[in-house]
Amino acid sequence: MRIIIAGAGEVGYHLAKLLAYEKQDIVLIDTDKDKLTQVANSMDVAVIHGNATYFSVLEEAQVSKANLVLAVTSSEETNIACSIISKQLGAKRTVARISNIEFLLKKEKNLLKQMGIDELISPESLAAREIKRLLKETAITDTFDFDHGVLSLVGIIVDEGSVLHDKSIWELAHLNPDHNFITVAILRNNETIIPRGNTVFHLNDHAYFIAEPDGIEHVLSFTSRERRTIKKVMVLGGSKIGFHTARKLSIKYRVKLIEKDKEKCFELADKLPGTLIINADGSDVDLLKSEGIAEMDAFIAVTGNSETNIISCLLAKNQGVPKTIALVENIDYIHLSQNVGVDTMINKKLIAANFTFRYIRQGEVLDLTSIHGVDAEILEYEVSESSYIAEKELKDVDFPKSAIVGGVIRKGQGHTTMGGFQFKPKDRVVVLSKPECIGKVERLFK
Amino acid sequence: MKFNFKIVVSLLGILLVINGGFMLMCLPVSLIYHEGGVVPLIISGLVSASIGGILWWSARKRTDDNLSKRDGYLIVTLGWLGMSLVGTLPFLLSGAIPNFTNAFFETLSGFTTTGASILNDIESVPKGILFWRSLTQWMGGMGIIVLAVAILPLLGIGGMQLFVAEAPGLKPDKLQPRITATARRLWIIYVGLTCAEFVLLIIGGMPVFDAINHSLTTMATGGFSTRQESIAYFNSPFIQYVLIIFMFLAGTNFTLTYYGFKGKFGRVWANEEFRVYMIGTLILGAIVSVGVYFNTGSDIERSFRNAMFQVVSIITTTGFVSADYTLWGPFLSILFFMLMFLGASAGSTAGGVKIVRHILLLKNGILELKRQLHPSAIIPVRLNNKAVSPEITYNVLGFIMIYLTIFVTSTCIMGLLGVDFVTALGSVATSLGNIGPGFGSVGPVNNFAHLPSAGKWFLSFLMLLGRLELFTVLILVTPYFWTRN
């Protein structure tokens, strides 16, 4: 597959990295020469220096042969123009990154489709969606539902009071006679570990499980963190993400949004009738206290400054807020989250890249998600009659070491899988895999 | 800041020419009914047109077509005063109102759509002159300057300044990108509704002459009647219901009426002011109906009709009378007095404070409680699901404060002139709100003839103040207006 990526910013870069593992032909276009050199040195991709809306540049990238054009520069106008021109020049599918949510309305989407833009991605809106998903439970760090919750991914922190501390996966199996959950990944410092039987849980590990609905309770009992249903949320920063987050959350929760700029506050107050907008500096501790930070169930820091976000989350933690989420610009910071004490750090560009990756893989994969900070993807495949693994038992399949089967959805029922499990056609299999062996896993289902 | 006197003079000229044209339009009526007034009308029309013509001619060499905000306020205020002065001619020359004070009061009461009258025997006035009296209201209702903007594209950019200074409401919703086109549409609706009402009144059995006059004064929310007893004279439920509906329409924002005609009812109902206006009128109507039923012993239908008629008449500041609300007991009298401060929708022909201002202020007041709890929160007042900027809230606060201050001082001044307490309250409230009937000796079945001359002049001033929504006139007496820069 020939894929053209316009924009070598963080979204473009991350996408190129994800796709390069897949052995796709990737052409990266950007106006920044230095960035391109850097990319060309670290990845097996072609780079073209130039403006992605120029015919000459697009022709040089052989846009007429492209299966996909991803316009993900930071400029909405460039992305839209690039997508439309590429489509006219013969590209099969186009994706444009946008920031104006008006485009995401159904009517406008159809219009843009007619013009030649097949899919739109808005990192801000996606990040807000992600935040909403993360707010489900205070005790868990990450969660994702497969097929409306017949199987769920649940992440917890192994803290001092946890029974998992210093136990191995085998020992854990004894605690789990019903076999209704399975450990799929452990995040320790910066390292993602796919657990084996002898893997031992350490203090402060982030442990991720795939669980059947009745297994979730069981998993939650492994952490001694306070469980609270979230009602009150404080959002720091009235940026686009802050706006989208408040807009999405105010349907379900009571939201307070804090923004420094008075003009912006008024604008936000106009667009967000259900949210209380506070005009204040987020670093003012007394003010945060007087606005009741201690009573909050969640604190979300999404200002433009990563450090401010992290520090204010720590402040919130200190005040007893059970759930904190910080937006960070620097992807490397994400791995710090467990060391620092912020529950989840998100990066909008990473989210956008993952979403786009998901879009590209549509058709081959039923569903796909990634966990913040974990260097692995969670994919959902369907077993067909001709699949290699059809009618085979799990223990007989030569599964790659960097991948693990989490569970199977059969006839709308979720099952966690042990060695003796036999795959049947039409089974939907949830697999966690490191990027480098996604290709191998895929072949098993072909 | 220099005034662009040439354009001010020139526009005043144009207004007087239009005024003269309207006077001459009364001629056919005079000729048909043979009740006199032909010669006075011709003279008045020619005088008005020629004064206007001379003014326009003297300023014909305009070099600068720019109209500043100041010029706008000056033109509107002077224009209204000038037209009212010239408008007295038909009354004076025909002898229908020989006294100049009375004639001026009557004319200004017409142009400002107040409808307060000093005529003791309306039926004896020649029909041509009565028609002029009704026409003043019709011109003043939508605004003569809005008309000038509508038919004279020469005003161009400056049209907006004039529109803002004259048309009631917070800010004009532009129906069309060009103000001229907006003004034209508003006038088309105005004329259309007037014609529709005329047809319905004829069907209801009203004589042709009365039907025309009442149509003109209803749509203007004016309230001049061709009968001494006002609407009570006709004693027809059908006519009263027709008038209730058209008074209500005249008190509706004309922009909404425009959308209504285009079938966009969702957009009409989405307007908060309209919802409050509609529901509020019905609730008040119901309360008063019950009151009337128990106070007068009329049957249910009659109580309802009389209650609705009086409520709509006062809220829309029309001032037609089909029953005397001062006879309905103290509670309803007080209620009607309070209703005088309501006013109908902004962007309608109604006078008074306007419902949208009450909504804004009330909401702001309630939100003030929430602001006490969260001192640094930004909690804007929301109207039609949009945040209203603090500047507009301040403007409204200022407006209502000035309105009440003027009401209080004016009542005192009326007292100083020897008018009794109830009459002073009623006459000031009704003049400032451009309503018509008041309380005490200027109640629904009385008139203003017996008031002292000074009182009449003062009330005339209040009418103009009310019609031009305070600021346009008051701004002229501030020092900022006259100092350069």
Check if B382 contacts A (Cβ < 8 Å).
Answer: yes
ipTM of the prediction greater than 0.90, yes or no: no
Helix H or strand E encompassing A49 = strand A46-49
Domain count, chain A: 4
Q: Which two tokens stand for residue A47?
A: 């780079």
Helices (H) and strands (E) in chain B, counts: 23, 3
Q: How many CB atoms lie within 10 A of CB A314?
A: 17
Q: Which residues of chain B lie closer than 8 angstroms to A279, CB-CB?
A: 376-378
Question: Does residue A178 have a pLDDT over 80?
Answer: no
Q: Closest to B382 (Cβ–Cβ): which among A268, A273, A277?
A: A273
Nearest CA in chain B to A263: B378
Residue A340 lies in a domain: no
Distance linking the first and last C-alpha atoms of chain A: 18
Q: Closest to B378 (Cβ–Cβ): which among A273, A277, A287?
A: A277
- The crossing angle, in degrees rounded to 10, of helices B5-25 and B127-142 is 140
Tell whether A17 and A89 lie within a shared domain: yes
Check if A279 contacts B (Cβ < 8 Å).
Answer: yes
Q: How far is A264 from chain B (nearest CA, A)?
A: 10
Tell whether A204 and A280 lie within a shared domain: no
Tell whether A168 and A258 lie within a shared domain: no
Check if B377 contacts A (Cβ < 8 Å).
Answer: yes
Tell which residue, B467, B474, B471, B473, has the closest CA to residue B432: B467
* B387:A279 CB<8 A: no
Q: What is the pLDDT of residues A194-225, one digit of tens each?
A: 888 888 888 888 888 888 888 888 888 887 77
Alpha-carbon distance of B347 to B368, in angstroms, equals 28
B225-242: burial string, b at 16+ Cβ within 10 Å, e else:
bbebebbbbbeeeebbeb
Check residue B152 and give its pLDDT. Answer: 64
Question: Does residue A382 have a pLDDT over 60?
Answer: yes
List the 330-359 stretch of A: residues with Cβ below 8 A of B.
none
Tell whether A114 and A144 lie within a shared domain: no
User: In a mutagenesis test of the B interface, which of A232, A255, A277, A295 is the best target, namely the one with the most B β-carbons within 10 Å?
Assistant: A277
Check if B374 contacts A (Cβ < 8 Å).
Answer: yes
Check if B391 contacts A (Cβ < 8 Å).
Answer: no
Check residue B427 and give its pLDDT. Answer: 93
Nearest CA in chain A to B370: A276
Q: What is the pLDDT of residues B152-210, one digit of tens each?
A: 655 555 566 666 666 655 555 666 666 677 778 888 899 999 999 999 999 999 999 99
Residue A334 lies in a domain: no
In this structure, what CATH number is given to the domain that contains residue A139? 3.30.70.1450
Residue A156 lies in a domain: yes
Q: Residue A113: is it exposed, middle or buried by C-beta count within 10 angstroms (0-12/13-18/19+)?
A: middle
Check if B371 contacts A (Cβ < 8 Å).
Answer: no
Whole-number Cα distances in Å, A163 to A158, A171, A175, A219, B190: 8, 11, 10, 11, 80
Question: Does residue A445 have a pLDDT over 60?
Answer: yes
Check if A270 contacts B (Cβ < 8 Å).
Answer: yes
* A280:B386 CB<8 A: no
Q: Which residues of chain B lie closer than 8 angstroms to A280, CB-CB?
A: 376
Residue A423 lies in a domain: yes
Check if B385 contacts A (Cβ < 8 Å).
Answer: yes
Q: How far is B391 from chain A (nearest CA, A)?
A: 12
Tell whether A111 and A161 lie within a shared domain: no
> How large is the average pLDDT for residues A140-163?
81
Tell me which residue has tokens 């667009």: A271
Q: Which residues of chain A lie closer than 8 angstroms to B392, CB-CB?
A: none
Residue A236 lies in a domain: yes
Q: Closest to B378 (Cβ–Cβ): which among A266, A273, A291?
A: A266
Residue A116 phi, psi dihedral angles, 5° rounding: 120, 10
Q: Which residues of chain B lie closer than 8 angstroms to A272, CB-CB?
A: none
* A266:B379 CB<8 A: no
Check residue B348 and give its pLDDT. Answer: 84
Q: How far is A262 from chain B (nearest CA, A)?
A: 8
Tell whether A319 and A360 lie within a shared domain: no
Q: Which residues of chain B lie closer than 8 angstroms to A270, CB-CB?
A: 380, 386-387
Check if B387 contacts A (Cβ < 8 Å).
Answer: yes
Tell whether A54 and A138 lie within a shared domain: no
Alpha-carbon distance of B304 to B290, in angstroms, equals 8
Check if A269 contacts B (Cβ < 8 Å).
Answer: yes
Check residue A427 and give its pLDDT. Answer: 85
* A279:B377 CB<8 A: yes
Q: Which residues of chain A lie closer than 8 angstroms to B377, CB-CB?
A: 276-279
* A266:B376 CB<8 A: no
Question: Does residue B407 have a pLDDT over 90?
Answer: yes
Tell whether A237 and A325 lie within a shared domain: yes
Check residue B103 and give its pLDDT. Answer: 94
Question: Does residue A149 have a pLDDT over 60?
Answer: yes
- The crossing angle, in degrees rounded to 10, of helices B127-142 and B179-203 is 140
Domain boundary among A271, A297, A329: A329
Alpha-carbon distance of A191 to A199, in angstroms, equals 14
Check if B485 contacts A (Cβ < 8 Å).
Answer: no
Residue A200 lies in a domain: yes
Cβ contacts of A107 within 8 Å, gap of 6 or more: none
| pTM metric for this prediction | 0.80
Q: How much of chain B, in percent, has pLDDT values that exceed 90?
A: 44
Which range marks the domain in which residue A107 is found? Answer: 2-121
Q: Which residues of chain A lie closer than 8 angstroms to B385, CB-CB?
A: 273
Residue A339 lies in a domain: no
Domain boundary among A69, A100, A121: A121
Residue A60 lies in a domain: yes
* B378:A280 CB<8 A: no
Q: How far is A265 from chain B (nearest CA, A)?
A: 6
Q: What is the pLDDT of residues B122-142, one digit of tens each?
A: 888 888 899 999 999 998 888
Q: Which two tokens stand for residue B447?
A: 């008139």
Check residue B167 and give its pLDDT. Answer: 61
User: In a mutagenesis test of the A interface, which of B376, B389, B392 is the best target, namely the one with the most A β-carbons within 10 Å?
Assistant: B376
Tell whether A111 and A184 lie within a shared domain: no
List the 287-306 stretch of A: residues with Cβ below 8 A of B.
287, 291
Tell whether A45 and A81 lie within a shared domain: yes
> How large is the average pLDDT for residues A6-24?
82
In this structure, what CATH number is given to the domain that contains residue A277? 3.40.50.720
Q: How far is B364 from chain A (nearest CA, A)?
A: 14
Question: Does residue A93 have a pLDDT over 70?
Answer: yes
Check residue A370 and give its pLDDT. Answer: 74
Check residue A162 and give its pLDDT. Answer: 81
Tell whether A93 and A176 lie within a shared domain: no
Tell whether A92 and A171 lie within a shared domain: no
